[in-house]
Amino acid sequence: MTDLQEYEGSEPIVANEIEKTEQLIQGAQELREKFQTDPHRPAYHFTPPWAWMNDINGPLFWNGRYHIFYQHNPDGAYWKWIQWGHASSPDLVHWTHHPIALTPTLGGPDRDGCFSGGAVINDGVPTLIYHGVPEGTCIATSEDPDLIQWTKHPANPVIPVPQPDDPDYGKYRVYDPCAWKHGDFWYALCGNRDPAGGDTAYLFKSPDMVHWEYLHPFYKSNRRWTEADEDCAVPNFFPIGDRHMLLFCSHLQGTQYYLGRYEEDRLYPEQYARMSWPGGHLGGGITMLDGNGRRIFFDWIREARTEASERASGWSGVMTLPRILSLAEDSSLTIEPAPELRVLRQNHRHHENIHLTADSELALDDVQGDCLELVVEVDPIDGAEFGVKVRCSPEREEQTAIVYNPSAKTLSVDISKSSLDESIRYIYYRNESATKRVPEGKRVVSAQEAPFELFPDESLKLRLFIDRSVLEVFANGRQCVTQRIYPTRDDSLGVTLFSRGESVDVKSVDAWDMAPATE
């Protein structure tokens, strides 16, 4: 007699349900083991519980917890029928996965997908504003203290996509909304491209978040900063210091931002910078204010693997570590990892007063791993280049080099030897369609280079977070470079310091193994 035969006959429904449940248990165990042994799945960066993730949406600090939502396909590790995943955390480090918050409504205005948007508190009620495909901007509210249950507004779409017979047809586009309150009115931005050339966003005004009036383009892009065929996707607008910031993503160039003046319902950009450069993988940043008034930044880190590899692995997409944004005295942007991440540190190692002769390398034999935090401080550098190599195999078949070049005024991540897997797509997306797949083995970019310059007599202070296939490099609180790497060798774990051109004095190196923060 089989294990289930004793239940058959008198209770066939129960027996059938037992068999189904035990199959689910076995499948869940197998999937968990697959993820735990996946050498590329991060251990302390937020990832979806399974399947696809892209843009982080609607971050909100509510009832003492940090909530994030994200573009999610729970049915597979590829782009299809997008919904809003949901997770929350008490500390920005340890995340709890929740049921899906928004899913397309059959026959509704978002029937083809609940795409990107933001979150606000409207008269004490948490409210999501998002792009419902195909009909336009939608809103949903929650009376649930844990933000698990959401109710879509019956007036959706509250900002319809203009149709050819509409009087406003051709004046604006409806896409990826964000919202804020100024005075007695709500304002919303829909990002897109200006038909005359360049990125732009369109401004709307409302007394109640339901009835909206189109005003005008929000800003004029400048060709010395961005190119004519870029767009303004997933815009996020907010005050910071004595300025206002428009954070956005170009589908061709990645995450970037403007800082400037906000006057008479318009943004006047005065500064511009990028957060992702050729070969980088940031795909749409967003921010929130927490209970301490900190401006916290999150972004989606895209994969560089093939679609087939993503689907075979069962997951796709990673969130950056939370970063704290603020303005320095000179009104430049400062970028720091959230201090809460220190709770993950363990097994501390410390080195100090290391002298590197010109064109030399030094392996740190007691610092190895694929889940590390490194803090390196170097005395003021004149003409020398200094760098740190991570995820090094013993014979250097695989390695990723972080390099500061004072002459070029760059901080770069050399990915030319990061992986022996020739299918990895270290590419520059310029002139590629947002959805076009690049042929396997096409490695256009050998290093992601970000502008960075030390002040006179300033020490170089690098803070590196290595998490299997993710690398985040912070420099002096003023720059951060994010990179995907996919070492194939089990022994690609080493860390090496090096100098080029002249000698370098390393003041200190601190290293920690990082404990897992995800399931």
pLDDT in tens, 23-53: 988 988 998 999 999 999 999 999 999 999 9
Q: What DSSP letter does each residue of 278-342 carry, written as one string?
A: TT--B---EEEE-TT--EEEE-EE---S-HHHHHHHTEE-EEPPPEEEEE-TTS-EEEEE-GGGG
Measured CA to CA, the distance from residue 203 to residue 310 in angstroms comes to: 37
Residue 491, pLDDT > 90, answer: yes
pLDDT at 303 over 90: yes
Give tens-digit pLDDT for 57-71. 999 999 999 999 999
Res. 4: pLDDT tops 70: no
| Per-chain mean pLDDT for the chain | 93
Q: What pairing do the DSSP bridges indicate for beta strands 51-62 and 315-316?
A: parallel
How do residues 94-128 score in pLDDT, each as one tens digit? 999 999 999 999 999 999 999 999 999 999 999 99
Peptide bond into 337 cis (omega under 30): no
- Compute the distance between CA of residue 270 and CA of residue 241 in angstroms, rounded to an integer: 14
- Residue 264 pLDDT class (50, 70, 90 cuts): very high
Q: Which pLDDT band holds residue 431 (cuts at 50, 70, 90)? A: very low
Determine the number of helices (DSSP H) and then strands (DSSP E) in the chain: 2, 36
Q: Which of 220-229, 248-257, 358-367, 375-384 has the highest mean pLDDT?
A: 358-367
Q: What percent of the chain has pLDDT over 90?
A: 83
pLDDT on residue 229: 87
Task: Answer whether residue 1 shows pLDDT above 70.
Answer: no
What local confidence, expressed as pLDDT, does residue 348 receive?
A: 98
pTM, to two decimals: 0.94
pLDDT of 141 strictly over 70: yes
Residue type, 408: A
3-state secondary structure of 336: strand
Most confident range (mean pLDDT) of 4-13, 69-78, 138-147 is 138-147
All structural domains of the chain:
38-337 (2.115.10.20), 343-514 (2.60.120.560)
Task: State how far the Cα of 143 lies from the Cα of 149, in Å rounded to an integer.
Answer: 8
CA dist 179 and 140 (Å) reads 13
With bands split at pLDDT 50, 70 and 90, how would you rate the model's confidence at 407? very high
Whether residue 434 is predicted with pLDDT greater than 50 in this model: the reply is no
Name 238's Cβ contacts closer than 8 Å, sequence gap at least 6: 180, 244, 245, 247, 287, 289, 295
